[in-house]
Amino acid sequence: MKTCPQCNTANRDEAKFCGSCGARLEVPPPAPVEPTLTCLACGAENKSDAKFCEACGAALEQALAPPPAVEPAPEPALPVVEVPEEAPTPPVQPPAKPILAPAPAPVAVPAEVAQCPACGYTVHYCPSCGASMQ
């Protein structure tokens, strides 16, 4: 939990601003990165003042330089595959459109009753089309 520096309110760790007062919640600075030595024998990281590798015991005197970069192996060429020509496929007919019944005509309703202007339904919100009746 993060505590707001302005009002001391507890906030979620993900929060960037206080939920109570709106103050910016400071993000702690990242911890300083201590330099390390890489063991040339096993590749383990060691403290910069270590004389011997903590993992394999090898002397770290020559480990002051970073290990040489390894170039990635080239990707093997993929074989070319011949695809036999297929007979043309007949054109696809689009599906037939369904026949829709015409919308019912609006029902005449007295003026004091709310009526949907889209379909004639009489309520606050039309359950037929969702339009507001007000």
pLDDT in tens, 97-131: 777 777 776 655 555 556 667 777 565 655 556 66
At CA 80, angle to CA 75 and CA 86, rounded to 5? 145
Q: Is residue 35 part of a domain?
A: no
Does 120 map to a domain? Answer: yes
* Domain enclosing residue 122, as ranges: 110-134
Asked if 38 contacts 64 with a C-beta cutoff of 8 angstroms, the reply is: no
Mean pLDDT of 11-39: 83
Backbone angles phi, psi at 59, to 5 degrees: -65, 140
Instruction: Tally the domains of the chain.
Output: 1
Domain contains 57: no
Lowest mean pLDDT among 11-20, 83-92, 106-115: 106-115
Model confidence pLDDT, tens digit, residues 42-86: 989 988 888 889 999 998 875 445 556 677 777 777 777 777 777
Q: What is the average pLDDT across 1-6? A: 86
Q: Is residue 69 in some structural domain?
A: no
Whether residue 21 is contained in a domain is answered as no
Token couple for 38 = 């890489």
Residue 102 lies in a domain: no
* Rounded distance between C-alpha atoms, residue 133 and residue 120, angstroms: 10
pLDDT of residue 56: 92
pLDDT of residue 64: 47
In a domain, 133, yes or no: yes
> Does 45 map to a domain?
no
pLDDT band at 29 (very low <50, low <70, confident <90, very high): confident
